Amino acid sequence: MNNPKNTKVWTKGNPSDITCVKYSPNGNYIAYGDERGGVKVVGWNSNEKTFMVKYENENLVGGTVLDIAWTADNQKIVAVGDGKTRAKAINIETKSACGELSGHSECLLTVDVNTVRPFKCILTG
């Protein structure tokens, strides 16, 4: 932010209002969630001088995404919110679920993941 010439702005339209945004631990990616339950992970491709979509799911938690947490390896995210699923852990490299987060009967507001293996998360509602 010290030099505005080095600032990149993601201007792609999103069909829904964005409800949360989180940087990856290494700062190379940004994950954001929207009011329809969608999650997108974008990063800057310095070779092509453009943004790239690393992961995208239009209905990950089934309702508004309220928080996202990253694992320290920059490969997994956990998204929580209000919807049928309420919480989902995803490996953005393989685009597949990793672990099971179930049994929650109410909206989940926040999530955090510890930084060492085995990864564990805490969810609050």
Looking at domain 15-124, its CATH superfamily turns out to be: YVTN repeat-like/Quinoprotein amine dehydrogenase (2.130.10.10)
Write down the pTM of the prediction.
0.86
Mean of pLDDT values over 15-34: 91
Range with the poorest average pLDDT among 8-12, 39-43, 121-125:
8-12
Residues 6+ apart with CB under 8 A from 34: 14, 15, 16, 17, 18, 19, 64, 65
Q: pLDDT averaged over the chain? A: 86
The answer to whether the beta carbons of residues 110 and 66 sit under 8 Å apart is yes
Give pLDDT, residue 10: 65
